[in-house]
Structure 1
């Protein structure tokens, strides 16, 4: 970066409103480069500033007399060898990379950040103490919107709120919840930057609740480290954040299917009957989830048994094997609480598996389920004891997935001690490190298998352990449904891309078939399709009345038809950190009107989804981003982008739109993903005169091997369109990993929005027969299976 550019940045920063901030008590004493990092000594401590990449900068403050804790629960990226320069401009130091520049004003001492010359954010008072808390605050522009702080339902633009950072369940919440199971110390701005506060202890994140243009992180103790992540797009910002904290492994393919789940299945006979009913009703199914009755006959007094109740489950090995033969995986609930009345209490005590009190004895306390201890996932003895239970259930019984419930932990007194700190110091990372325990156990003992880890609580970076989150015990109500898109989209922005809800709602005995239908229709376009609820009203669609059952079947079959598209979204999340559910803000980051918009969202890049969240709706107002024209997924009607339109609503589907120029790979639905393959593909292309070049892809592998892409055990099929005059060319090009055999694949190409019968269609230069429907404006072209990796279709339009 040239000196004139640095000087210009300094002037911009000093001239901006952010320059008004100062801390008169902090004096700069010296500054120097130590390798790539900048070390600054001040009158009250030391700053260490270093780049992780051109878009990620970390700042740490070490107060005088304190020792720095170098360990991060969140960060896994190694600092980059990105060229970094330091210049002394007289009144300020300029330190930075080709992307982020840090301006350190000498007097009054102040740190500010810019990205490619544009001011981002600046410390206000920097690190200081206030009302017993350790605080770092920042000066905000008066009009920037804020996102982050984990899973909440408070409105999409979260500016003006002060959030507690203490993972906590909220039973029966509806359209609003200030505090839920995932509280993440992350703030994101409409100026396209993120601030991640790299400290796990409990505290608060204040998004300008005092209306004085201040963002503040407050904590009880711990590291005084934060990272600034910037980019040219939201994809850059979230991609940078997930490169810093880790990317989500691609889940097993069956995780994209339908789950049977309730609270809960009491007996083996009951569970078998449910699976058989799904098959008899021709309703696709990939997994059955067992709540706590698998280890106890009663809700209270049995938690911690963690072994099949032999009275009600006389032959669990055969049951699980039979389910597997039917294409249905078995998922078991586990909790970190071991009751003093459970069969494993003494064993857990003897193995020193439990968190302790101040005297070093197993800490016990009462909560809803009984008198309990808590597994210490921070001690080696606790980890070993807990993992042995998982390992034996996997190895001896064939259990395929795990549900970690109550992992906030739900009740976690401050007096409890763990191997690495107090309850308050580790509370927010407990679910994170519980998921780590299972993830690392699989890598050691089942290295050729992708784990499924459903967890109710986590922390920054939990996605790298394969954690699949859900939004907790939402009420079975319209208010409960209304809060779900905000929670899921926000969590995707914060790196945890598989946030989903108990479809139909969990809490309460409300029987509302319209609500159930709308929730499942929304569920088609969220990361995990899992109806779950208290058993007083059936959560499984096979037990609903016939009309509702028929609508649920269509939703589930659509979910399975979209498997090629959805699985590819999982691949993009794994490789790039891209959320599966994305805000409209991603499309138009400079459009102030969409900064608080979440009544519709993007499912991947190509779908725009507008859930129906009110009873009796017959019309829905939908904003269609200006970046494209859009097609109604169900009717084919074309809409211009950049408009708000009112669309009619019927009970059989929710409004869904597809981007002009999109490729949507689909298959015929199967009973379970064990029958899935892409040898016969329906490839939908949404032709429009406004699109001269389009593209898309399909990712495929065996659905089970960890890191299949990195091992060369994959196929990546790229689709491309080119429109020149009246000639539309579509190319299908297969890239195959070195350890993979691509299938011979027949493709039924369906081109939408073809106004007139084409003059000619050629496949590989030879004219072929085709179908064209004047009413639907659909062109159908068969592309026969071939060993060739490339196929080209040329359509001569009228």
Structure 2
């Protein structure tokens, strides 16, 4: 609030579980730092923040519940005995929970409810869940089949995501479940969002997170993001941090998360670029109606939110290796700045379409490379001709319209519901139809709800607004 930074969620890293011995014990609270978890979380809730809590599948031998988990057979076992298989883990030795055992799933869900949700935590953040255990032949319950871990690592990750998902669904039955998972395998997207892991705070990581995200999108993971600013290494300088914020504005998951020891990771970590960071975040929040509609489309059809240009322009060979720009849905083309000191950005515009500079309204023909201005306060962003991009500011719908220079028609469906419950599954939602009809002498705009229409100042044709 003091910095006027829009924010909707707060994630508790595993430090909230750090005990006096400096080790981290899942499903415990560092009472010396957070003596009253419920009161602490109530402060966050009063600021309209949802709260996530980091959880890990490793149980240290010094964990207060290790003996309980071991005696109940909830842990992955050694190859040569029924003893827990131990491996280095967060400053000690630990065994991993075995989610192929139904008793482990029940234990996990019960503790998540009593030790997290009971205090007001909204959703879990599954972390360190790659099951990177050194003993391939360690034994998993496998629902009674007794199978070596080497065959089940991705299954453990999947079942951990499912267990967390079910815990949320059971404790908050009126709310749609939400889970994040660092590790992911085919099927995890049904239960959890993911991200590109522990990236480094440098320009190269910023650049190559772009194609990593598109790869996730094309692999079925529409709901993903990156650790904005980079997770590991030296803290980012002001320019790198700002460019990272801009680059990630349109990923469904936007989280600033880091392991810096020298400073706080937060939007205000560099006062010199705080106004630019706030401006970027406000653009993201304004575009949530567009992003939310794309996530609905993803759920219904599997279409990704973040798309390589070749997804739409497959017949243009120049898009086949266009790895560092991306489409957001069908309409927006994003060209992040990923080199230090650059104040211009060259970007190839796919052929078969016209393109508008989002900021200036200047129109370009496709099939060419253009150089766009990219001062620190500007993310190079283009809109495809025909675009209908719904936004919201101050509770009012505003649709940005980018008509083709000639004739043509386009449409978009804006999805609206309560944003919280599962009522949309029984039809409690609204699809608002937006239509553009460009004619030689006029522009016709149609919607079946009240909207304001915004067009480039270069558009001189008369505008006819109609209610569907």
How high is the TM-score relative to the length of structure 1? 0.56
CA distance in 2, matches of 1:726, 1:299: 75
CA distance in 2, matches of 1:688, 1:366: 60
Q: CA deviation at 1:455?
A: 0.8
Does residue 1:705 correspond to 2:409, yes or no?
A: no
Aligned to 1:649: 374
CA distance in 2, matches of 1:290, 1:410: 23
Q: 1:496 aligns with which of 206, 218, 221?
A: 221
Q: Deviations over 1:173-218 (max 9, x none)?
A: xxxxxxxxxxxxxxxxxxxxxxxxxxxxxxxxxxxxxxxxxxxxxx
CA distance in 2, matches of 1:301, 1:318: 24
Using a 3 Å threshold, how does the CA distance of structure 1 residues 377 and 527 change in structure 2: closer, same or farther?
same
Contact 2:352 2:366 in 1 (8 A): yes
Does residue 1:682 correspond to 2:398, yes or no?
A: yes
Aligned to 1:348: 69
Q: Map of 1:479-494 to 2, 5 A cutoff? A: 479-494=204-219
Q: Map of 1:596-745 to 2, 5 A cutoff? A: 596-668=321-393, 680-706=396-422, 708-733=423-448, 745=450
CA distance in 2, matches of 1:754, 1:732: 23
CA distance in 2, matches of 1:510, 1:313: 26
Aligned to 1:460: 186
Does residue 1:310 correspond to 2:31, yes or no?
A: yes
CA distance in 1, matches of 2:200, 2:459: 47
CA distance in 1, matches of 2:12, 2:137: 33
Contact 2:407 2:440 in 1 (8 A): no
Contact 1:660 1:687 in 2 (8 A): yes
CA distance in 1, matches of 2:90, 2:40: 31
Does residue 1:409 correspond to 2:131, yes or no?
A: yes
Q: CA deviation at 1:488?
A: 0.4
Partner of 1:529, secondary structure, is strand
Q: CA deviation at 1:399?
A: 0.7
CA distance in 2, matches of 1:609, 1:690: 24
CA distance in 2, matches of 1:515, 1:649: 14
Using a 3 Å threshold, how does the CA distance of structure 1 residues 754 and 612 change in structure 2: closer, same or farther?
closer
Partner of 1:575, secondary structure, is helix
Q: Deviations over 1:298-324 (max 9, x none)?
A: 6853333x1222221111112212211
CA distance in 1, matches of 2:453, 2:319: 35
Contact 2:316 2:351 in 1 (8 A): no
CA distance in 1, matches of 2:322, 2:440: 38
Q: 2:161 aligns with which of 415, 435, 443?
A: 435
- Where structure 2 has 5 or more consecutive residues not aligned to the other structure, the ranges are none
Aligned to 2:231: 506
CA distance in 1, matches of 2:343, 2:17: 46
Using a 3 Å threshold, how does the CA distance of structure 1 residues 444 and 718 change in structure 2: closer, same or farther?
same
Does residue 1:470 correspond to 2:186, yes or no?
A: no
Partner of 1:730, secondary structure, is strand
Using a 3 Å threshold, how does the CA distance of structure 1 residues 325 and 368 change in structure 2: closer, same or farther?
closer
CA distance in 1, matches of 2:290, 2:456: 17
CA distance in 2, matches of 1:722, 1:286: 37
Does residue 1:750 correspond to 2:419, yes or no?
A: no
Q: CA deviation at 1:441?
A: 3.1
CA distance in 1, matches of 2:429, 2:408: 30
Q: Map of 1:6-85 to 2, 5 A cutoff? A: none
Partner of 2:152, secondary structure, is helix
Partner of 1:500, secondary structure, is strand
CA distance in 2, matches of 1:408, 1:554: 36
Using a 3 Å threshold, how does the CA distance of structure 1 residues 298 and 512 change in structure 2: closer, same or farther?
farther
Aligned to 1:245: none
Aligned to 1:323: 44
- Where structure 1 has 5 or more consecutive residues not aligned to the other structure, the ranges are 1-278, 670-678, 735-744, 765-790, 793-798
Q: 2:7 aligns with which of 249, 271, 285?
A: 285
Aligned to 2:82: 360
Q: Map of 1:170-569 to 2, 5 A cutoff? A: 279-297=1-19, 300-304=22-26, 306-358=27-79, 359-420=81-142, 421-465=147-191, 467-535=192-260, 536-545=262-271, 547-569=272-294
Q: CA deviation at 1:280?
A: 1.6
Aligned alpha-carbon RMSD (Å): 1.9
Q: CA deviation at 1:763?
A: 5.0
Q: CA deviation at 1:643?
A: 1.3
Bigger relative contact order, structure 1 or 2, given CA contacts below 8 A and separation 6+?
A: 1
Using a 3 Å threshold, how does the CA distance of structure 1 residues 320 and 348 change in structure 2: closer, same or farther?
same
Contact 1:688 1:753 in 2 (8 A): no
Q: Deviations over 1:750-794 (max 9, x none)?
A: 122544374xx6655xxxxxxxxxxxxxxxxxxxxxxxxxx26xx
Q: CA deviation at 1:367?
A: 3.5
Q: Deviations over 1:94-142 (max 9, x none)?
A: xxxxxxxxxxxxxxxxxxxxxxxxxxxxxxxxxxxxxxxxxxxxxxxxx
CA distance in 1, matches of 2:301, 2:133: 36
Partner of 2:448, secondary structure, is strand
CA distance in 1, matches of 2:126, 2:385: 41
Contact 2:60 2:92 in 1 (8 A): yes
Q: Map of 1:558-597 to 2, 5 A cutoff? A: 558-597=283-322
Contact 1:538 1:544 in 2 (8 A): no
CA distance in 2, matches of 1:348, 1:665: 51
Using a 3 Å threshold, how does the CA distance of structure 1 residues 757 and 301 change in structure 2: closer, same or farther?
closer
Aligned to 1:188: none
Q: CA deviation at 1:352?
A: 2.4
Partner of 1:413, secondary structure, is coil
CA distance in 2, matches of 1:300, 1:682: 51
Q: CA deviation at 1:589?
A: 1.6
Using a 3 Å threshold, how does the CA distance of structure 1 residues 449 and 369 change in structure 2: closer, same or farther?
farther
Q: CA deviation at 1:479?
A: 1.0
Q: CA deviation at 1:491?
A: 0.8
How high is the TM-score relative to the length of structure 2? 0.94
Q: Deviations over 1:552-601 (max 9, x none)?
A: 11111111111111111111111111111101111222333322221211
Instruction: Name whichever structure is richer in strand by fraction.
Output: 1
Aligned to 1:256: none
CA distance in 2, matches of 1:716, 1:425: 44
